[in-house]
Every structure is written in structure tokens, then in C-alpha cells.
Amino acid sequence: MNTQINSDYVPDVLVIGGGIAGLQSALDLADQDLRVLVVERNSSIGGRMIGLSKVFPTLDCASCITTPKMSAAAHHPNIQILTNTEVQAMETRNGIHSVRLLQKPTYVNFDKCIGCRLCEYACDTEYPDPFEEGLGSVRAIAVPFTNAIPQKAVLDAEHCATCGVCARVCPTDAIEFDQQPRTLTIHTDSVIVASGFNLNAVTVKPQYNAARSSNIIPPTMMERLLAPHGPYGRVLRPSDGKIPSSVAFVQCAGSRDESIGVPYCSRVCCMYAIKQAMLLSGALPLADITIYYMDIRAFGKGYEQFFQNARAMGINFVRGKVARVDPIEDGDLRLHVETTDDAENPLQEHRHDLVVLAQGMIPAWNPAATTPVACASDGFVATPSLTDPTATSAPGIFVAGAAAGPKDIVDTIAEAGAAAMQVSRYLHEKRAAVLVGQAVHG
Amino acid sequence: MAMKTLTAEQKKALAALRESIGGISDEKRQKQKHLLTTRKALMKFLEQQPATVPQIAEALQISADEALWHVTGMRKYGKIAESGEDGDYPLYALAALEEKAHSGSQEVKP
């Protein structure tokens, strides 16, 4: 791993995104002796998956799967990683992709930083931790999270009080207040777009009133509450630290809805809601847990059994649609539901003290604006060929994972492997053609 | 913790960084002051006895979600530890006092 590479470095493949899709592709390609550059806009690789608690349907620890892959990529001799780096533009000429990158300053010299965190312990400025979905706090200079890779401190200039204490305690003089943004252009034969997904805002549907209550939370926040090293060390509701006694999951709260511009199904919400409900029933054995759903889409291997197990565990499934969520006294929420489970009493009201809204998956990046890669009408990267689902509209540029559309971790990893093989085949054919050309023309 | 003195170059670079982020605004200064005074008051309050988040919020005259945020940050950096429950709420105590209670040691770490 070398975070200080320059424009003279020519990788065989540039991977955009250091999440599970990008890392799997990078590892598969690097093992074939191809040189890979991974570009990650955050301060650590690991993407969305490193923030999850457990994965469905096996309930394996998510970071136990992700961390070894992060570490393997960081230590692989054929993989270089640039963190805090964004793709600004890309153009293709004669089959060579020129990718302009912007590396943002971290104000820490990564060659000198030993990850001792003395700067972090000395800093007395804290702000809501983005890794903990704002629930916890992080200091203005900090290693982003416990198992972050690289294990290097990063200074957040926006929150820094510029007191200089970090530089005064750093044993290796790694703090560099005069670092500047750096642009560099990388020339490469092929690219994999693995830029992942975001969730639409928890406030996207005003009738769910998330802006009026901190106890109406997105699923990513529930993942952090359930994670062993989560912000509170246990499941508490964010408004006042109460141990929840009645938790509701509102499904399709940000997808399958034309009115908010997300008509498609986000594919993973049913399963993660069931997973979170199961984990919650373990963490809070006395709590009532209810999932309000339109239909359960348990499409993968072992998923239906997982759903049936949840029912058997006593998780309450209510078929219907939540029309409105109203904040009421004591920080609680009242859900107005129309259900098909009770023909005589279809309009019901239920009280809960914590509500999780299943937000819709939307693309994290729009490559169409600055690169030759086209996007489909849903905003995800277009994959024109049914028989070649990792190929984009641009030759030599492939896509993997949720950048091409909502998908779960299993499908993402399979697709990342497929994209790596397609890149490998593409490079082999491209280079063979060059050799043939040279032989023919002398 | 050993504190070094900033070199002239470091001071100059720090001043340049301060300028590049538009200086330290009054709002940012107030925010920082509020953070430090709240944390200090919280430590002092917990010296008396362990407390829940709503109790801390009431004593410090801040909202409960803000009290929880401070408790979370101080727990992360080892100042506060959980110390049982009171009804539906966990109790929080000073980590040094908790450690003393469990180890039986007479010394309270700073």
C-alpha cells in the first residue's frame, strides 16, 4: 500500500471505490499479476460493509469478513490504494483511459504517522462521528474508526480549532498543516466502477416526520446500534438514551414509490430488516419488534428460511402500509397503518418508541456527468448487455456491485469477481491484438 | 504526555490553515466553549453519583439527545463508564470511580 503515488504510475486497472465490490475485484485482479490502483473518497477503505453489524442470512460478523479483505488489499504487492481521493473526470483516447484524480489533504504525512493516536487523545474538539451515523463523536484529528485501513490519523479542517496541540504531541512529526489538495492524472487500460450506493434521506417522505424526531432512524443507524463496537455499546434510542421496549420497522419507506423518484425495489431492505429484528430480539429480549411490510422479498439462497425463522422467533409481521408516523409524548411515535391482516379493522394505530425507516438505495456517484460511462434512467450505471452484466456502455470500463443497481453483499461479491474476470479477458485480448499488430506490421 | 513547542514553520503553516478555513468564527468558538464547559460540568455532576441521560440533561440544562451525545463521546475516550441501570435507562459513572469500585484500589486515576 502506498498512498503517495504519482502520475507516472501506470496501473493495468483503476478501481473506483474501496468498498467490498472494489476490494474483491482488486484482489482477484492482483492475484492474476495485474497492477491495480484503488481510489477511495473516504479516509478508510471498507465502504458500507465495514459499518454493518452482521450479514444475512448467516448472521456472520460483517467486519470479520470485510477486515481481512481490506488488510489483504492493503498488503498486496500489486495493489496501490489512494484514500481521500475522488475522480474528477475521465476521458478515453485510443483505448487508454485518462482519469483525473483529486487527493484531498489529510494534514498528516502517512509515511511518518504510526497510528499511535496520541494526537487524537490530545485533541479536545469533537463533532458527530459520520462513521457512527452522527450518534457518537470523533475528534478533529483521529484515526477514522477502530479497524480503519490505513490506520493513520486524519485532520478534519472544517472542525479543527487550529490549536496545534496535535503537532505538539506527535512523536514522529507527522502533522503537516500546509498540505494542499493534489490533482494527478492516471493513465490506465481499464477501469472498474465500484462506487456503491447511498440511502435517500430519512426525511424524503414528509409524512414519516423524521425531521421532528431523532427516534425515527435510517437502517444504517440501526446497524451501528447493533454493532459490537457501536456508539453506545448497546441498543439505546437516540433522543434520550432509553432502552427501547417497542421497535418498528417501516418497509418500502424510500423505494417503490414514484412520488419520491425511486420506483424500483431496493432489494435488500426486507432481509436486513429481518436480520436487524432478529439481532434486536437477542439484544433486547423483552422488546416487542414489529415489521410493517407490503410483501417480503426473500429471493436468495436460504433467505426464505431466514424469514420463517424470524417468524418462529416471535417477530411480529404486519402486512400493510404505514401512512404516517407522528411523534407523540415521551419521545414515542404513533404509526398509522392500513393493514390487510385484519379485514374488520384495517386502519390501525400502533405506538412504538423507536422506528426504523427502510430507505431506498440510490447511486453514490453519477459518472455520466464527467466520464464516458452512461447511466440508466434510475441513475445507476447502465449495463446494456444481458449476457455481459458487468460491461458498461464504454469499452474497457466495467461495473461491479451496487453502482449498477441495488444488490446484496452475496451478489456484489459474485459480480465483483465477474468484473475482474471480464477485465482480465479484455486486457488479454487487447494486448494480444497489439502483439499481432506489431508482428504483422513489423 | 510530552509536549513539544511548535516550530516557526509549523506556526506559519497553522496560521495559513486557519486562514484557509476562513478563520475561527465566533460561532465555532462558542461551540467549542460550550463543549468544554458542558464536559466539565458533566464530570463534576457524575462525581456525586451515577446518573441516567435524562438526569444529566436536567442537571446541566441541556436536551437529552445532547446529553447522550456527550456521554457517548466521553465513554469512547474513557472518561465515563456504564454502571448498571435505573428502570429503562443505563446509569453512567466516572470511569475512574468505576475502576476504583471494581478493583478495590484506594487510588483514583486522574
Q: How is residue A440 written as a grid cell?
A: 504483422
Q: How is residue A138 written as a grid cell?
A: 470523533
Q: Which of A162, A169, A239 sits opposite B14 (nearest CB)?
A: A162
> Is B24 in CB contact (< 8 Å) with chain A?
yes
pLDDT at B109 over 60: no
Query: Which residues of chain B make contact with A124, given a CB cutoff of 8 A?
Result: 35-36
Contact A162 B71 (CB under 8 A): no
Domain layout of chain B by residue ranges: 35-110
**Do residues B90 and A234 make contact, with C-beta atoms less than 8 angstroms apart?**
yes
Disruptive mutation site among A141, A159, A178 for chain B (greatest number of B CBs within 10 Å) = A178
> Is B90 in CB contact (< 8 Å) with chain A?
yes
Does domain B35-110 fall under CATH 1.10.10.10? My reply is: yes
Mean pLDDT of B77-104: 88
Domain layout of chain A by residue ranges: 13-104+181-196+364-432, 199-361
Contact A177 B13 (CB under 8 A): yes
B 91-110 → A contacts, CB under 8 A:
none
Q: Which residues of A162-198 are buried (b: 16+ CB within 10 A; e: fewer)?
A: bbbbbbbbbeeebbbbebeeeebebebbbbbbbbbbb
Query: Which residues of chain A make contact with B64, given a CB cutoff of 8 A?
Result: 239-241, 331
pLDDT at B108 over 50: no
Q: What is the pLDDT of residue A440?
A: 82
Check if A13-104+181-196+364-432 and A199-361 are the same fold: yes
pLDDT at B1 over 70: no
> Is A346 in CB contact (< 8 Å) with chain B?
no
| Cα–Cα distance, A119 to A154 (Å, whole number) | 10
CATH topology for the A199-361 domain = FAD/NAD(P)-binding domain (3.50.50)
Beta bridge partners of A25: none
CB atoms within 10 A of CB A275: 24
Q: What is the pLDDT of residue B110?
A: 42
Q: What is the pLDDT along chain A (442 residues), one digit of tens a residue?
A: 545 688 889 999 999 999 999 999 999 999 999 999 999 999 999 999 999 999 999 999 999 999 999 999 999 999 999 999 999 999 999 999 999 999 999 999 999 999 999 999 999 999 999 999 999 999 999 999 999 999 999 999 999 999 999 999 999 999 999 999 999 999 999 999 999 999 999 999 999 999 999 999 999 999 999 998 999 999 999 999 999 999 999 999 999 999 999 999 999 999 999 999 999 999 999 999 999 999 999 999 999 999 999 999 999 999 999 999 999 999 999 999 999 999 999 999 999 999 999 999 999 999 999 999 999 999 999 999 999 999 999 999 999 999 999 999 999 999 999 999 999 999 999 988 888 888 887 6
Q: What is the pLDDT of residue B66?
A: 97
**Do residues A340 and A319 make contact, with C-beta atoms less than 8 angstroms apart?**
yes
Contact A178 B2 (CB under 8 A): no
CB pairs under 8 A between A and B: 109
Q: What is the pLDDT of residue A442?
A: 64
Q: Which CATH number fits domain A13-104+181-196+364-432: 3.40.50.1820, 3.30.70.1290, 3.50.50.60, 1.20.1440.60?
A: 3.50.50.60
Give the tens place of pLDDT for each residue, A171-209.
Answer: 999 999 999 999 999 999 999 999 999 999 999 999 999
Q: What is the pLDDT of residue A358?
A: 97
Concatenated DSSP letters of A201-265: -TTSSGGG-GGG-TTEE-HHHHHHHHSTT-SSSS---TTT-PPPSEEEEETTSSSSBGGGTB-S-
Half-sphere exposure of B72 (CA within 13 A, CB side): 32
**Do residues A136 and B72 make contact, with C-beta atoms less than 8 angstroms apart?**
yes
ipTM score assigned to the predicted complex: 0.93
Query: Which residues of chain B make contact with A121, given a CB cutoff of 8 A?
Result: 1, 77
Total-model pTM: 0.94
